[in-house]
Amino acid sequence: MGNCCSATLQVSCDALINRCIDYTFARATYVCFMEENLNDLGTALRDLQALKNDVKDRVDGAKAQQLKPLEQVHRWVSRVEEIQDEVNELVKDRDEHLHKQHLEKLCIGGCCSKSCKFSYQFGKNVAEKLKQINDLKSRTFVKVAGEAAPESEKRQTEQTVGMESMINEVWGQLEEQKVGIVGLYGMGGVGKTTLLDQIHNKYLDTPNDFDHIIWIKVSRNFKLDKIQNEIGRTIGWFNEKWKNEEGQQKADKIFRALSRKKFVLLLDDVWERVDLKKVGVPIPDETNWSKLIFTTRDEGVCSKMGAHKKNRVKCLASDEAWNLFKKNVNVTEDILSLDSEIPRLAKIVARKCAGLPLALIVVGRAMSCKKTRREWEDAIDVLRKSASQFQGMEEVFPLLKLSYDNLSSNEVKSCFLYCALFPEDFSIHKDELIYKWMAEEILEYANVDGALNKGYSIIGTLVRSCLLEDIRGHVKMHDVIRDMALWLACELEETKDNFMVQAGSLLTEVPNVEKWEGVKRMSLMANDIENLEIIPSCPSLLTLLLSNNRLKMINEGFFNSMCKLKVLDLSKNKNITQLPSGISDLVSLQYLDLSETSIQNFPVELKALVKLIYLNLEHTSELEVIPHNVIASFSKLRVLRLYKCGTCKSILVGDNEHLGSELQSLKHLDMLTLTIQSVPVFKKFFTSNKLLSCTQFLCLDGLSFLDISSLTYMERPHSLTISSCEIVDYKVSRQSSFKHLQAVDIHDCPKLSDLTWLIYAPNLKKLSVRSCSNMREVIQLEGRGEVAQVEETNHFANLDELILISLPQLRNIYGGDTLPLPYLKRIEVLDCQNLKKLPINFSNVPKRDLVIAGEEDWWNMLKWENDVTPPQQCFSSLF
């Protein structure tokens, strides 16, 4: 053991001594060869300087040939200049040290001062700099420059009438550090590209520190390498080698280049998410200050692209549209001054373009050579009858069609084309539209709720694609989009000659019956047709819309050939009192709308319509009796609308007592609307489990005794109207629920003092209270135990509309307190002079969307939380 320890100690000591010798020798070497290294350093530095000058001459020559210096050359030159400064600084430090030592002679060979530590460090630094310089000298460049990056040039743009405020708004967003990605969305032809071009040009005109401003047209069915190649061109890397590289190699190079730079990337016409990571583009955010601006027709793309701000580019207002139209009409001369009638006619033509810039420009230029009144009148006729035949529309419609082509399925496309059956500027009720889709079997469904869910999803897709406009429970189709849809219906092979649409065309007679052969969808809505005396041949017809005419008579044989008809809408024909017995020929009919007609008798022949799934008899006040076993014949019925139907006066009792058992027999009935006008009917209603389960819209009118608590037995009440009723004191327990209730309308109930029971309606969206002379509070907080039981509930959390009219005693809405109202859009107050405070403060509601409508005197006397008055633009005077 002793020998072993001795041997180990000896080895350790020898190793330590050797390391000390090596270290001391190395230090001595730095000092001993310092003078020689210093001379070599000066020579190497002069050689490197000469090499740098040669490289810079080559670079200057390349620039003269419009080539771009390579990044590696730029970095090499920068390093050479840095090491020159470092050597100069090193020599300067040595001189200052020698001066401090009073120019003492160096210890060894005249080159080492008495400060051995300084001599060692200086010698070491000299040796290291010499090595670094030799390494730089060894670098050779076969090529010092490549293809030059093209300079960003201004883009030519269309006229920007009316877009200045949008440009300024978007520019303000881009100046915010936290905003890196901005989306611009809107329908085709609305001016998104023009807006993007203006922003691009503004970046070029405005002093900034962006290294690259890159504009790329993406378009449908894009490929990543197209975007990568455009970026490669901009940063000067696009060459043969680049073309042969894989996508990931390009992405890596783009990322290395742009991650060290500040850039603006503008992407036009984006139809689906562009994966920036796969392209190689660093995500613009507040840390890198870079910007991404893109345009799209689909609002959903804004979310998928991670937009920090999204902006809808809307059609022009009427004055702006007129100015843009005039500019394009008067291109060569003042056409509008040639005839005193032309300006009036020109405004009609401009209105037909409905504020769409592309249409205003194209139509305006087409009319710039029309110099007579008759030419303008002819143009108006063409635009009204068939806009696709108007000169220039062959340029507009194919561009708009791209949005249709991009829809995800034939189902969605069919639903879109169906919307063209309605008149221009028509508000289409969403639910009624979906019921028609159901009846035509465009939608597959297991029950009404499932169909509505699917239908609302399709409507959302069309709204996000800017093919429909969403307007509070309704949708609208822009006039030019509608014209495009009708053009499509005539052009597409699968729908060619299937549509006949003359809605809102001021017709007094039905159009040429010979053209009905082969038609599948026909709309003659909103005309002045009084009689249907013809017997047409249209065996392929699926949908016939005749609502809002002046119909008085329908020929007995009118429906003879319509064996495939599935949708028949005769609503809003107030002069029609009876239906022909020939309606029994409609054996395929699934949707029948007779609402707002004056029919007096319900034909027993309707029993033949065994496939009916939707029947609307709302506001048929003249209809007193429905014959026995007719309703029972509709075994597939899913939706029955009897709101304000004349039969409701005696439904479930008297002449219509049989309806109770017939309604019970309808196994598939999902949705019922109903008016109850007597206490006996009200009591009988609550004995029917079927009615309690499927009644979603209930109107209680003129009841002399109404206990609100009984309504809690209804399973799915969505809408409740109470009119001229004697509401007794109610006891609503914590277990009671109106969780499905979304709309409440109460009027002409003079003894009603409050609506505290609404605390159990957490999903209420619309509340209207009118002409209740004793109403003091909407929700009464004091002395009501049930309020305390649900203190944790956010009352009115989903409310978006509140209407209060002729309530002279009303002082508070919610006990004088404020409520979080995140979805509130509109408050309307009229003749409520004692209501001096609203339950809102402007930290709890969306300021931009809120509208408060009322008398100006009432507005001026309102008191606000913390004395903070809301912006004046929130207020809208009713007078």
pLDDT: which is higher, 587 or 709: 587
Q: How far apart are CA 520 and CA 541, in angstroms?
A: 4
Residue 869 DSSP label = P
Q: What CA–CA distance (Å, rounded) separates 793 from 714?
A: 22
Can you give the pLDDT at residue 774? Answer: 93
Name the CATH architecture for the domain at 497-612. Alpha-Beta Horseshoe (3.80)
Strand-strand pairing, 614-616 and 639-642 = parallel
**Residue 452's closest CA among 298, 614, 326?**
614
User: Measuring CA to CA, which residue among 315, 297, 327 is closest to residue 355?
Assistant: 315
> Taking a C-beta distance cutoff of 8 angstroms, is the pair 56, 77 a contact?
yes
pLDDT at residue 540 in the model: 93
645, 656 Cβ separation under 8 angstroms = no
Dihedrals phi, psi of 315, to nearest 5 degrees: -65, 160
Q: Mean pLDDT across the stretch 676-680?
A: 88
Q: What's the one-letter identity of residue 655?
A: D
766 alpha carbon, distance to own chain's centre: 24
In this model, does residue 151 exceed pLDDT 90? no
Q: Which residue has the higher pLDDT, 121 or 20?
A: 121
Q: Which pLDDT belongs to residue 230?
A: 87
pLDDT at 736: 58
What type of residue sits at position 194? Answer: T
Residue 534 contacts residue 555 (beta carbons within 8 Å): yes
Residues 835-864, mean pLDDT to the nearest whole number:
79
Q: Which residue has the higher pLDDT, 812 or 815?
A: 812
Give the pLDDT confidence score for residue 113 in this predicted structure: 45
Q: Which of 770, 768, 775, 765 is nearest to 742 (CA)?
A: 765
pLDDT of 22 higher than 50: no
Asked if the model's pLDDT at residue 846 lies above 70, the reply is no
Q: How far is CA 453 from CA 160, 439, 456, 513, 823, in A?
A: 40, 16, 5, 38, 21
Most confident of 560-569, 655-664, 858-867: 560-569
Residue 216 belongs to what H/E stretch? strand 212-217
- pLDDT tens per residue, range 509-527: 998 888 898 899 999 999 9
Check pLDDT > 50 for residue 340.
Answer: yes
Q: End-to-end CA distance of the chain: give it in Å, rounded.
A: 113
Helices (H), 543-620: none
Residue 730 clears pLDDT 90, i.e. is over it: no
pLDDT per position as a tens digit, 635-656: 999 999 999 998 877 777 777 7
The pLDDT of residue 264: 93
- Spatial separation of the C-alpha atoms in residues 671 and 431, rounded to whole Å: 12
| CA–CA gap between residue 642 and residue 698 (Å, rounded) | 10
Does the structure show a pLDDT above 80 at 107?
A: no
Q: Is the confidence at residue 783, as pLDDT, over 70?
A: no
Which two structure tokens, joined as six digits, stand for 402? 């791209």
Question: Tens digit of pLDDT for each residue in 470-486?
Answer: 988 899 999 999 999 99
Instruction: State yes or no: pLDDT of 287 exceeds 80.
Output: yes
Q: Which of 107, 126, 117 is nearest to 27 (CA)?
A: 117
- Going from N- to C-terminal start, the domains of the chain cover 12-147, 166-312, 318-385, 395-479, 497-612, 634-701, 709-879
Check pLDDT > 80 for residue 72: no
Q: Let me know: does 787 contact 781? Beta carbons within 8 Å.
A: yes
CB neighbourhood size of 855 (10 A): 16
How far apart, in whole angstroms, are the C-alpha atoms of residue 442 and residue 452? 13
Residue 281, token pair as written in the block: 């583009």
> What's the length of the chain?
879
Q: Supply the pLDDT for residue 27.
A: 54
- Cβ contact 216:231 at 8 Å: yes
Encoded tokens for 94: 């040595």
Nearest residue to 455 via CA among 478, 432, 471: 432
Q: Between 1.10.8, 1.10.10, 1.10.3470, 2.60.40, what CATH number should domain 395-479 receive?
A: 1.10.10
166-312 and 395-479 share one fold: no
Nearest to 610 by CA among 637, 628, 642: 637
pLDDT-derived band at 106, boundaries 50, 70, 90: very low
- Across the strands, what pairs with 358? none
Could you tell me if 293 and 174 are in contact, meaning their C-beta atoms sit under 8 angstroms apart?
yes
Residue type, 824: L
In this prediction, residues 87-115 reach a mean pLDDT of 58
Average pLDDT score over residue span 326-332:
78
Contact 589, 415 (CB under 8 A): no
Q: Dihedral of CA 352/357/358/364: which sign?
A: positive
DSSP lists the bridge partners of residue 854 as 829, 877
Residue with tokens 């009841």: 703
Angle, CA 88 vertex, CA 87 and CA 93 arms, to 5°: 95
Lowest mean pLDDT among 57-61, 341-345, 845-849: 845-849
CA distance 182 to 550: 51
- The residue written with tokens 């990543």 in the block is 224
Among 192, 405, 201, CA closest to 310: 192
Rounded distance between C-alpha atoms, residue 98 and residue 813, angstroms:
90
Confidence at 296, pLDDT banded by 50, 70, 90: very high
**Two structure tokens written together for 193:** 């590209």
> pLDDT at position 707, please?
84
Q: Which residues contact 11 (CB under 8 A, 6 or more apart)?
A: none
CA distance 221 to 406: 10
- Cα 810 from chain centroid (whole Å): 39
Which one is predicted more confidently, 781 or 493?
A: 781
513: number of Cβ within 10 Å: 12
498, pLDDT greater than 90? no
Q: What is the pLDDT of residue 130?
A: 78
Query: Which DSSP symbol is given to 802?
Result: E
- CATH number of the domain located at residue range(s) 166-312 in this protein: 3.40.50.300
In the predicted structure, residue 835 carries a pLDDT above the cut 50: yes
d(CA 398, CA 365): 18
Q: What's the pTM value of the predicted model, to 2 decimals?
A: 0.76
Q: What is the mean pLDDT of the chain?
A: 84
pLDDT (tens digit per residue) in 208-233:
888 889 999 998 888 888 899 888 88
CA nearest 465: which of 483, 455, 477?
Answer: 477
Backbone angles phi, psi at 724, to 5 degrees: 55, 45
Kindly give the residue spans of alpha helices, DSSP state H, lying in 582-714.
630-633, 659-664, 679-685, 689-694
**477 Ramachandran zone, left/alpha/beta (phi>0; psi -120 to 50):** beta
> Percent of the chain beyond pLDDT 70?
85
Q: What is the greatest pairwise CA distance in the chain?
A: 133
How much is the CA Rg of the chain, to the nearest whole Å?
A: 40
What are the C-alpha distances in Å from 467 to residues 317, 401, 435?
19, 10, 20
* 688: nearest Cα among 729, 725, 651, 724: 651
How far is residue 837's CA from residue 236's CA, in Å, rounded to a whole number? 65
What pLDDT score does 19 carry?
Answer: 46
Burial of 491 (0-12, 13-18, 19+ CB in 10 A): middle
Q: Do the bridges between strand 777-779 and strand 801-805 make them parallel or antiparallel, or are there none, so unpaired?
A: unpaired
Q: What's the pLDDT at 103?
A: 45
Please give the Cα distance from 539 to 856 (Å, whole number).
60
Give the mean model confidence (pLDDT) for residues 587-605.
Answer: 95
Exposed/middle/buried for residue 360 (C-beta within 10 Å: 0-12, 13-18, 19+): buried
Of 5-14, 314-323, 484-493, 567-576, highest mean pLDDT: 567-576
Band of residue 199 on the pLDDT scale cut at 50, 70, 90:
very high
Distance CA 364, CA 359 (A): 8
Within 104-211, strands assigned E span 145-147, 181-185
Helices and strands (H and E) in the chain: how many: 26, 30
Q: How far lies 278's CA from each of 233, 252, 307, 630, in Å?
A: 18, 9, 18, 64
Q: Helix, strand or coil for residue 213?
A: strand
Cα 860 from Cα 720, distance rounded (Å): 33
- pLDDT of the residue at 477: 93
Bigger pLDDT: 316 vs 112: 316
How many Cβ atoms from other residues are within 10 Å of residue 364's Cβ?
23
* Segment 536-551 mean pLDDT: 95
Cα atoms found within 13 Å of the Cα of residue 113, Cβ hemisphere only: 19
pLDDT bucket at 23, cuts 50 / 70 / 90: very low
pLDDT above 50: residue 112 = no
> Which tens digit of pLDDT belongs to each residue from 157-190?
766 788 888 999 999 999 998 999 999 999 998 9
